[in-house]
Amino acid sequence: MQLQQELENLKEKYNQLTQSLADPQNVSNPQKLKELSKERSDLKPVVEKYDRYQQVNKEIKESRELLRDSDTDPELEKMAEKEVEELEKKKEKLEQDLKKLLLPKDPNDEKDVILEIRAGAGGDEASLFAQDLSRMYSRFVEKKGWKMDVLNTSYSPIGGLKEIILNIRGDRVYSQLKYESGVHRVQRVPETETSGRIHTSTVTIAVLPEADEVDVQIDPKELKVEAFGASGPGGQNVNRNYTAIRVTHEPSGSVVSCQDEKSQHRNKEKALRILRSRLFDRAQREQQEQISQERKSKIGTGERSEKIRTYNFPQSRVSDHRLNLTIHKLENVLDGDLEEFIEPLIMHYQAQMLERQEASFS
């Protein structure tokens, strides 16, 4: 009954918005008109689905009344029974669709992302695996038709990546990449290992919704900006000029360094984009903790200390520990074929939200 009442309330609100859009006062106010149109547009899929749901309920009722009629022709009765069975299935599907449409929307799903890849445990081997994951996400971005810029890189002595920070832009990027946050583990024989022993190394992925300036206001007085000489793979100096920039946000202690551009201005600009997104992410996490102690089970938080996926080279398999899903297509996954994980992850966390929603409706 609570679900039904919520749907009725939304339909009433939709009708009120439709009337408001025709109000001359709103028609003459472009900003107000835009806000009302957006709100009505967001409700439209729910209302249309609810209208279909009500129509199916009406058809079920009519078919059952036909069955209760003692004078009904046996052949007609058989048809009515079959129709009720099909309509009940349709009703159940519409009900599930409505519940999904009523799930809380993640306001960041439409945003672009800052994706940070860092070598973890495993020394040089971890840095080489960080390089593999950087290529994996780059290939995924290509296949999706998104755009990507490298904001910063830091190399290990053997040429692997200690850290790489990417800016990925496109259609609903965060909604698809947010579940990649966490610890990615690799099991393989390093090229430098002469005895053929399998080593385990880790890489940490952080996916942050890219913050706009309106999302996070940074006071320049709270920033410490330092210039230094950029370096390349192996630590060699690649630029005698002090073009690399290190920005420290003193209130939070967050430090961002950028060196990939040839000018201080461009490196500072990139560093501020990364800093803004980190502060935005931190503020949201703190807010979630204050609002609810259920943060760990909340969708999209992507605990970064959590081991989420293992890439096993000897057996050519990739296992996602949240889904208990193993795919024996390691080469394909590392070549950017991530859909076999991303789609099930979206459905997995959506199912968890539906369970909590149904518990609240009961």
- Mean pLDDT for the stretch of residues 49-74: 83
Reply yes or no on domain 2-101 having CATH 1.20.58: yes
User: Would you say 119 and 185 are in contact if contact means Cβ atoms under 8 Å apart?
Assistant: no
- Mean pLDDT for the stretch of residues 94-107: 84
Alpha helices for 102-147 (secondary structure H)? 123-144
The Cα–Cα gap between 340 and 319 comes to 11
Q: What is the pLDDT of residue 182?
A: 92
CA distances from 285 to 209, 260, 290, 341 (A): 12, 30, 9, 25
Higher-scoring residue by pLDDT: 196, 87 = 87
What's the one-letter identity of residue 155?
A: Y
The ranges assigned to domains in the chain are: 2-101, 113-288+305-351
Residue 333: band (very low, low, confident or very high) from pLDDT cuts 50, 70, 90: very high
Q: Is the pLDDT assigned to residue 174 strictly greater than 80?
A: yes
Q: Tell how far CA 205 is from the center of its chain.
A: 13
Q: What is the pLDDT of residue 261?
A: 79
Least confident of 143-147, 228-232, 251-255: 228-232
Q: What percent of the chain has pLDDT over 70?
A: 87
Q: Is the pLDDT assigned to residue 72 strictly greater than 70?
A: no
Q: Fold match between 2-101 and 113-288+305-351?
A: no
Q: What is the pLDDT of residue 1?
A: 54
**Tokens for 7?**
């749907």
Higher-scoring residue by pLDDT: 306, 64 = 64
**CATH of region 113-288+305-351:** 3.30.70.1660
Residue 293: band (very low, low, confident or very high) from pLDDT cuts 50, 70, 90: very low
Q: Is the pLDDT assigned to residue 336 strictly greater than 70?
A: yes
pLDDT tens for each residue of 101-133: 888 888 889 899 999 999 998 888 999 999 999
What's the one-letter identity of residue 280?
A: F
User: Would you say 328 and 317 are in contact if contact means Cβ atoms under 8 Å apart?
Assistant: yes
Q: What is the pLDDT of residue 317?
A: 96
Whole-model pTM: value is 0.71
**Tokens for 136?**
């994996």
